[in-house]
Amino acid sequence: MDVSMFRMVAVAGFAAAVAAILLHFVVSKPKFDDVFGKDRGLRILDPVRLVIFFATLLFVEQKWSLVGVLRKLVFLLAILCFVILAVTGFVPRVIFGSAISGWWLMIHATAAPVFAGCVAVLAVLWADRNRLDKNYWPLLNRILGRNPKSTVAPEKHELKLRICFWVILTMSLPVILSAVVSMFPLFGTHGQEALLQIHRYSTLLLSLFAIVYLYLAALTEMNRIAAK
């Protein structure tokens, strides 16, 4: 019963995330002309151009500092591990309706500690730049009568990106701890089942916010290039 319920929740969650992203992408009217040029031919190929554009965002810019390069490389490794964990974790359970075992489990267990390490590093390197300071609460600023620290207005999706960042970090804790604690003989059968449920649903929530974060990050970069 719990397995079938999780399958329904996971399918509904991923379907809702994909539908919301597609709807937002259509409504936001991305500026293809500013990014790809007005004189381009075969505009029907814009989706292909968009995929290639998003792929180029994975490369490290030469102008970046050593810390910036390290942060980008750790971020890319985290994305790779996230994809591996999502595929090995959700495909057997959601699509095939079976527990993770065999090669699925071995690959999942190998990528998990690497992902946990990447999350820890990114938390240190990106925590300061993702602070939710006074710039992001204009209504609260007016109510309290206080001035923001900076007069520079946040970018269009900056607040949503920062919220997603902190949600991902927060959800990483139950995901990692539930997996680690379950390896020790501290809980009985019911406790192990509870840890499994915590791991499942916190992983699902983390995955949904990670998908939204990656989409907003790519869209932000696209808007930044279009504004040049």
pLDDT at 208 over 90: yes
For residues 187-212, average pLDDT? 88
b/e map of 70-107 (b: 16 or more CB within 10 Å)?
ebbebbebbeebbebbbebbbebbbeeeeebeeebeeb
Residue 38: CB atoms within 10 A of its CB come to: 7
Q: What pLDDT does 161 receive? A: 86
CA–CA–CA angle 51, 53, 58 (5° rounding): 100
pTM: 0.80
Over the chain, what is the mean pLDDT? 79
For residues 110-133, average pLDDT? 86
Q: Is 30 helix (H, G, I), strand (E, B) or coil?
A: coil
pLDDT band at 15 (very low <50, low <70, confident <90, very high): very high
pLDDT band at 115 (very low <50, low <70, confident <90, very high): very high
Euclidean distance between CA atoms 116 and 81, whole angstroms: 9
Work out whether the CA dihedral 110, 116, 122, 125 comes out positive or negative. Answer: negative
pLDDT at 137 over 90: no
At 154, phi and psi to the nearest 5? -65, 155
Task: Decide if 114 contacts 95 (C-beta within 8 A).
Answer: no
pLDDT band at 171 (very low <50, low <70, confident <90, very high): very high
Task: Decide if 109 contacts 84 (C-beta within 8 A).
Answer: no
Tell me how far apart the terminal alpha carbons of the chain are, to the nearest angstrom: 54
Task: Decide if 213 contacts 161 (C-beta within 8 A).
Answer: yes
Q: What domains can be seen in the chain, in order of their start residue? A: 2-37+44-226 (1.20.950)
Euclidean distance between CA atoms 168 and 186, whole angstroms: 27
Q: What pLDDT does 76 receive? A: 87
Poorest-pLDDT segment among 73-77, 180-184, 218-222: 218-222
For residues 41-69, average pLDDT? 69
